[in-house]
Amino acid sequence: MSSPFDPDRWPTGYGPGSSSAGGAGGGGGDELPPFEDEDAPPPVDDEGAPSADPSTGEVLPSGPAAAPRRKPKQDPREAFLQWVSEQIGQVEAYQQPIHQKPAWCPEWWNHPEVVQRLYVAWKAYQQAVERMSEDKGAKSAWWVQHWDHHARILFDKQHGPFRACNQAGHLADNDRRPLPIVMELPPDDAWLI
């Protein structure tokens, strides 16, 4: 089945390389640093002098053996898909009786509204996780201010974006039967975010 999404193109204001911080779409500033701060190698001294620990002033060993291991940069698309799978499968659909399962489309990525809502919820979740050390209520605020609102709209069986979809597929006739959520990953060429 063809998809309206181009896997090499993110919506305006979203995805790696977006420079619009809070611009149209609200997803700006998504360029991830190549390494976590604690994993970054010490700065190179122009004069060849050894680096020093900034907290103690102690001279640090130099050379390839002393360089800290670097964590590989995680692909944003893969991180997004993993989060969606976990959020939907473990939170929304976990141990729900079939008749109580929320509306869902196995080809959720074919719904631009769904992709946008899941993407902004994911970005807000990442920010909440980062703020947890300073604000213990950051995740709670994310649930109330972000997820609860988006979930009510996404999974509304009468008016939500999945109202005409069912287990048989995108916009399939569902004979008004409630369906289990089946989380399938989109094909590699489906344009998501």
Is 10 buried (19+), middle (13-18) or exposed (0-12) by CB count in 10 A?
buried
Is the separation of the CB atoms in 15 and 193 below 8 Å?
A: yes
Helix (H) or strand (E) holding 178: none
List per-residue pLDDT tens for the chain, 193 residues long.
444 555 555 555 555 555 444 444 444 444 444 555 555 566 554 466 667 777 777 777 776 655 566 667 889 999 999 999 988 877 776 666 666 677 888 889 989 999 999 999 999 999 999 999 999 999 999 999 999 999 999 989 889 998 888 777 787 755 545 555 677 888 888 888 7
